[in-house]
A and B are shown apart, each in its own frame.
Chain A
């Protein structure tokens, strides 16, 4: 798989990262290096090998169905560039 400039621009847009037009060729090249490495990894035969999901054997931690958090509206909103009447205020997004 080879990444061209158009794909690089699209990936940047999906990730909401601003990339200037003249930086795209270098970005595409970096993507290709990374994907090339992954292709190399794909050559390893892993048939019958369970995916390693954790370095040490662990069971997914669970919590009980108890309300232990919340009621901190001011703290939740404290980093918002704009907040009004308890809401985050953002530029209009409407379908």
Chain B
């Protein structure tokens, strides 16, 4: 179906004081499921509500309350699994992960340790044209999110809001197939894109709806290949887990900083301790989360409140049959159907809104020209005003109209830009604007000849100079364009000027 021939990106090596080192990275991405209600209660998932207003007694862990699973959240997890070409487990089960924290009133998180709903899948992470890393997904399991603690409202107290408590999360666990900070960021970007296409997570990192734990270890060149051959982790270094990052930039910085820390330890004869660390972007360092270490004994056991989750193959098939076109497929289709470059197709398929906009513009028109206009003019203009594609004052029909006029030769590229600006700021139908404001390109050679004659007659001195220096013909072309208000066809003007000057 897809032509996905690619080569693996070069592995980044980091020079230590003594040796070169390579990075090995695995990720756990927590993606908040897009749903109306929580995973096990009927409270809303709405972000930004009054504190503790989206809380049911189940979420608050009142005695005697029992969890009842939200079927749509299960469907979303299955959809995500299918989107990552993963195995769907028809039987999965919930376990309790026990730890104490003020924002976890139950004293445990309901999760899926032993029997996750989704098994092995994959994500193709592009790192440029024809270069990509295939990152294997180990599993996806469903679990409850915790609440939110706010530490800066009082000097001695932490404030706890349980609105997020019990919202469904998908934890997407990758294999250690990521080999550098840029790849790590690209992996999260691609995963986010797929989730947004599927509509299973909005990917809003600022609100914490997508966050990543990054497992970083380092090894000497050659060791990773031994691991890949045998899948034996003893060939790799000891890993540290950097928790809870919600920015692509911080993910990259944290990996760089952590790798350097581990290299310094190993090269001075020390040993890396497996532990959970936190990245501090202000100080540019990672530091140990000692409190987490102590709580690391989670004493998992099957949740006695919940029967195993059994789903039917037919239900999974229905979800599979209704999967939307995914980013890789859309990109391949844009390249094939519209003749776009790999780069343009990537830009236009980055999100669904841009892709839909482009398709509406390109429908029945010159695809490459449409891509140029959407990417260079429209995106450029929107970016200047910090607008999203969904806030574009120019509709696809309007932009399509402008492109139609260019293709027909009714307007020049220069006029088209002016027209675009008019449509962007004032609105209106491009065809009508061109008519009423007399912006149509003059291709009538008679009219152009008259204009050229006038310029030549008015500037005898320049004519003499041009005969000695033919480059001056450009000056005449410029004058004619000016005299015609930019509406003359530049190629035609050039030709006529050359002829009249006898060059």
How far is it, in angstroms, between the C-alpha of A72 and the C-alpha of B55 when the chains are bound? 7
> For window 34-82 of chain A, which residues contact chain B by CB distance below 8 Å?
53-54, 58-73, 76-77, 82
Report A-chain residues with C-beta under 8 Å of the C-beta of B472. Answer: none
Decide: A63 and B50 in contact? CB cutoff 8 A: no
Those of B138-163 within 8 Å (CB) of chain A: 149-151, 153-162
Kindly name the residue among A16, A69, A70, A84 whose own CB sees the greatest number of chain B CB atoms within 10 A: A70
Interface string of B305-328 (1 = CB under 8 A from A): 011111000000000000000000
Binary CB contact string for chain B from 78 to 92 against chain A (1 if under 8 A, 0 otherwise): 000000000000000
Q: Cβ of A1 < 8 Å from any Cβ of B?
A: no
Chain A interface size range: 35 or more
A59: which of B43, B102, B307 is its contact (CB, 8 Å)? B307
Residue of A nearest to B46 (CB): A67
Q: Classify the secondary structure of B's interface with A.
A: loop
Interface size on B, residues (CB 8 A): 52
- Which one of A71, A77, A87 has the highest number of Cβ atoms from chain B below 10 Å of its Cβ? A87
A90 touches B71 (CB 8 A): no
Q: How far is the CB of A37 from chain B (nearest CB, A)?
A: 17
Inter-chain CA distance A60–B56, complex, in Å, is 20
Cβ–Cβ contact B44 & A70, under 8 A:
yes
Which of chain A's residues have a CB closer than 8 A to the CB of B69?
60-63
Query: Would you call A59 and B70 a contact (CB within 8 A)?
Result: no
Measured CB to CB, the closest approach of chain B to A45, in angstroms, equals 21
Partner of B42, one of A54, A67, A84: A67
Residues of B with Cβ closer than 8 Å to A? 35-37, 41-44, 50-58, 60, 68-74, 98, 100-102, 149-151, 153-162, 278, 289, 291, 295, 297, 299, 306-310
Q: What are some 20 contacts across the A-B interface (CB < 8 A)? A: A16-B100, A60-B308, A63-B37, A64-B71, A64-B72, A65-B73, A67-B43, A68-B37, A69-B43, A69-B58, A71-B54, A72-B53, A73-B50, A76-B57, A77-B52, A87-B160, A88-B52, A89-B154, A92-B158, A95-B291
- Give 8 closest A-B pairs by Cβ, nearest first: A68-B42, A65-B72, A87-B159, A69-B56, A69-B42, A62-B71, A88-B160, A70-B43
